[in-house]
Amino acid sequence: MPAVMDFPVTQQPSIPAGAVAAVVAELNNVTKRYRSGVTALDGLSLSLRKGEIVALLGPNGAGKSTAVKLMLGLSTPTAGTVRIFGQDPRDTAARMRTGAMLQVGRAPEMLRVREHVAMFRGYYPKPMPYADIVAAAGLGDIQHRFFGELSGGQKQRTLFAMALAGDPDLIFLDEPTVGMDIESRRALWATIRSLAERGKTVLLTTHYLEEADALAHRIIVVDGGRVICQGTPAEVKAIGTEAVSGSATEAAKPLPALNTGTKIIHCVTTLNATHLEAMPGVQHVIINTAQARVTTSQPEATLRAMLALDAELHSIEVASPALEDAFLALTAHRD
Amino acid sequence: MSAVALPLASTSSALAAPTRTLSATLRILFTEMRYEVVRALRTRAYSLAAIGFPVMFYALFGLLLNRGESTGGVLVSKYLLGGYSVFGALGAAVFGFGVGVALDINAGWLELKRASPMPPLAYLLSKVAMAGAFSVLIVCLLTVLGVAVGHVHITLLEFAKIVGIAAFGAIPFSCLGMAMAFLVPPTSAAGIANLIYLPMSFLSGLWVPLGALPHVVQQIAHFLPSYHLAQMMYSALGASNKGTLLTHLGAIAAFTVAMLALTLVGYRRKEQNA
């Protein structure tokens, strides 16, 4: 049992070392304005590289889905360029290398799962073998069922199978694990990781921040049609923690910038805020009744000091600043 | 790589942009059609209504309520076989194609299909094929019913002709359904389909002979493909009819083009809001 609980860092796949991988998809300074006058994307640029898992995060209306639609050639930009494999996303050649899982309310209900998969396999020149799709999407027990008979999670798995059907090099997953139970979700994550290991590029939008954290090599936070920040999950969390501190000005004095080693210690202690703030590395303290929440850049030193001063200190939990906190802080500045 | 080298390019096809051969495209089209027909047959809410209504109406008005009278030079049961065949084709297309596509748009299913490398025509043609298959099925059922119960005498050639006309009718009717799917709010598509299906059948004289309707109403019929298809049916069945094959085909073609234009307007509007 590790003394310091953390997000499963070992599970976070790292981008293959070596030369920078080729760009497979690119939005270049893209603006999308609807006829209604709403600006969905406002000069947004992003690029996806071979073998990468990228998570697009943002609140509703941030422009995530619009960005995905543009990359799928379902919509055209008002300004800027979209390139998929160096081609127009509407080219059949580009589409033959792309798979998509979109938020679909209803697929034809009176077709069986295997029939849906067979239909999508037929669209591609070199589809994934059917048995591989069944294994990858976990369709074993539902392949002969009608789509209309499936539960929400099973429908998601079927739609995921359709996205994989063509063995595409670039896969878009729009909120892929909505309605899935934990087990299916983890199985899907494993499949996505193995796809990336095979050199496939995956872009997912999600509102499960845990999902982005556990899965993505890179997170792009989008809000108001712009990229707010991007980086590895750890980097985004660090930036977000600064934003958390910065936005909590009503409670505290200005705080130093946090680094990626920053942890949050929860515990029950008799120590008061003045004591805690004087300890090494401590940046921020919140005490509610007996429960203390201490933000520190040197968690080991802080803990030693706390245990030395309070023999009865208990219920210790040490966590990384949650991506959720970072995300909320980053996107909270808008009206 | 120069144009001269192109004949050798097949060895390096991995480098070339993947394009689809005609046979691959036809295979996709065939698969799409097959699954669309299977899906529609399995969807009882659709298949029972699309087949049940014309069969029920024909059984009621063509067979039960008629006591061997003649109209247009043939038995009423034979005359109405033409009208209800057109009625069946119209229902199959307006509900199968129109409401079906509207639901696919609403659910985001059409978008997923468009994002795939499926040739867009495969989607549309599979729906036309489905409407055509249902039209043919309905004509066959009505004919069997008419011959078995209604004393209808029909030659093989007459039968082949009315089957062909019903299948052909799937084209203008599907275009009507498609225009509807792209223009009306998807959630109200089923209601609007009824508002098209029933008045259009009435105004084309599929239920009550046109001569019994006011003159003004009779004029509207000339703009409706269902009227022209019905006249083609009467001609094929050896009953009295108006107009010539050429005027009928011309009117149907004009209607079809108008519906395609309306579809394009609706599609553009949706695309701009996409």
Element (H, E) at B225: helix B225-236
Q: For residue A243, what pLDDT band results from cuts at 50, 70 and 90?
A: low
Confidence of residue A298 (pLDDT cuts 50, 70, 90): confident
Predicted pLDDT of residue A58 = 82
Whether the per-residue pLDDT at A248 is higher than 50: the answer is no
Say whether A108 and B27 touch across the interface (CB within 8 A). no
CB B200 within 8 A of CB B224: yes
Looking at per-residue pLDDT, the higher value among B130 and B61 belongs to B130
Percentage of chain A lying above the pLDDT 90 cut? 48
What does each C-alpha distance from A65 to A40, A41, A202, A319, B262 come to in angstroms?
9, 10, 15, 31, 28
Contact: B109, A74; criterion CB under 8 Å: no
C-alpha distance from A152 to closest chain B C-alpha (Å): 14
**Residue B108 touches partner A, C-beta closer than 8 Å:** yes
What is the least distance, in Å, from the CA of B112 to any CA of chain A? 7
Measured in angstroms, the CA of B198 and the nearest CA of chain A are apart by: 27
Give the chain B residue nearest A110 (alpha carbons): B39
Q: For the segment A1-47, what is each residue's pLDDT rounded down to a tens digit?
A: 344 444 344 444 444 544 578 999 999 999 999 888 889 999 999 99
Give pLDDT tens digits for B150-187.
Answer: 999 999 999 999 999 999 999 999 999 999 999 999 88
- State the average pLDDT for chain B: 90
**Edge-to-edge order in the sheet of strand A98-101:** A98-101, A170-174, A201-205, A53-57, A218-223, A226-231
What pLDDT sits at residue B114?
95
> How near does any CA of chain A get to the CA of B273, in Å?
6
Q: Which residue has the higher pLDDT, A308 or A25?
A: A25
Mean pLDDT of A122-133: 96
Cα distance between residue A257 and residue B121, in whole Å: 57
Cα(B210)–Cα(A108) distance, rounded to whole angstroms? Answer: 40
Q: What is the pLDDT of residues A191-208, one digit of tens each?
A: 999 999 999 999 999 877
pLDDT beyond 90 at A128: yes
* Confidence at residue A321, expressed as pLDDT on a 0 to 100 scale: 66
Question: In the predicted model, is pLDDT for residue B9 greater than 50?
Answer: no
B210: pLDDT strictly greater than 50: yes
Give mean pLDDT, residues B191-216: 89
Residues of A in contact with B106 (CB under 8 A): 105
Domains present along chain A, CATH in parentheses: 9-235 (3.40.50.300), 254-331 (3.30.70)
Nearest-angstrom CA–CA distance, A89 and A84: 5
**The pLDDT of residue A323:** 64
pLDDT tens profile B39-69? 999 999 999 999 999 999 999 988 888 777 8
* Nearest C-alpha in A relative to B111: A74
B273 contacts chain A (CB < 8 A)? yes
Task: Give yes or no for B105 touching A (CB within 8 A).
Answer: no
pLDDT given at position A293 = 83
**CB count in 10 Å sphere of residue A305:** 20
Q: What is the mean pLDDT of residues A258-268?
A: 71
Categorize the per-residue pLDDT at A326 as very low, low, confident or very high, splitting at 50, 70 and 90.
Answer: low
Nearest CA in chain A to B116: A95
**8 Å CB contact of A109 and B43:** yes
pLDDT at B99 over 50: yes
Q: What residues of B are in contact with residue A111 (Cβ under 8 Å)?
A: 35, 38-39
A103 closest CB neighbour out of B108, B116, B119: B108
pLDDT at B85 over 60: yes
Cβ contact, residue pair A74, B38, below 8 Å: no
Q: Please answer yes or no on whether A93 and B28 come within 8 Å at the CB atom.
A: no
pLDDT at A327 over 90: no
- pLDDT number for residue A148: 95
Cα separation values, B14 from A85, A120, A228, A238, B18, Å: 14, 21, 39, 43, 8
Q: Is the per-residue pLDDT at A252 higher than 50?
A: no
Cross-chain residue pair A123–B271, CB shorter than 8 Å: no
Q: Do B20 and A92 touch (CB under 8 A)?
A: yes
Reported as a pLDDT band with limits 50, 70 and 90, residue B21 is: confident
CA of A329 vs chain B CAs: smallest distance (Å): 30
Asked if A115 and B43 come within 8 Å (Cβ–Cβ), the reply is no
pLDDT at B16 > cutoff 70: no
Tell me, what's the pLDDT at B134?
97
User: Chain B closest CA to A112's CA: distance in Å?
Assistant: 9
B chain contacts of residue A104, beta-carbon cutoff 8 Å: 107-109, 111-112
The closest alpha carbon to B62, from B167, B143, B138, belongs to B143
Among residues A101, A332, A47, which one has the least CA distance to residue A218? A47
Q: Is B242 on the interface with A (CB under 8 A)?
A: no
The answer to whether the CB atoms of A34 and B273 lie below 8 A apart is yes
Closest CA of chain B from A111, distance in Å: 6
Complex ipTM value: 0.88
Predicted pLDDT at A261: 66
User: Which amino acid, A44?
Assistant: L
CA dihedral B234, B239, B244, B248 (to 10 degrees): -10
A146-204 pLDDT per residue, tens = 999 999 899 999 999 999 999 999 999 998 988 788 888 889 999 999 999 999 999 99
A123 vs B contacts (CB less than 8 Å): 28, 116-118
Looking at residue A325, its pLDDT comes to 63
Q: Which residues of B touch A109 (CB under 8 A)?
A: 43
Cβ–Cβ of B115/A102 closer than 8 Å?
yes
List CB contacts (< 8 A) between A115 and chain B. 35, 38
pLDDT computed for residue B65 by the predictor: 84
The β-bridge relationship of strands A201-205 and A170-174 is parallel
pLDDT confidence of residue A105: 84
From the candidates A110, A160, A164, which should be mutated to test the interface with B, based on the most B CB atoms within 10 A? Answer: A110
Smallest Cβ–Cβ distance between A35 and the set B38, B111, B273 belongs to: B273
Q: Does B121 touch chain A (CB under 8 A)?
A: no
Query: pLDDT band at residue B199, thresholds of 50, 70 and 90?
Result: very high
Which pLDDT tens digit goes with each residue over A210-238? 788 889 999 998 888 999 889 998 888 77
Whether A166 sits inside 8 A of B117 (CB atoms) is yes
pLDDT, one tens digit per residue, over A51-84 is 999 999 887 788 898 999 999 999 999 999 999 9
Per CB-CB distance under 8 Å, the chain A contacts of B34 are none
Terminal C-alpha separation, chain A = 44
Q: How far is A320 from chain B (nearest CA, A)?
A: 38
Q: Which of A288-297, B171-180, B210-219, B249-258 has the lowest mean pLDDT?
A: A288-297
pLDDT(B10) > 50: no
CB-based contact A77:B274 (threshold 8 Å): no
What's the confidence (pLDDT) of residue B266? 93
What pLDDT is stored for residue B228 in this prediction?
A: 97
**CA-closest candidate to residue B86, choices B254, B257, B252, B211:** B252
Summarize the confidence of residues A293-305 as an average pLDDT.
86
Chain B residue whose CA is closest to A90: B115
> Nearest residue on chain A to B39, judged by CA atoms?
A110
pLDDT given at position A332: 60
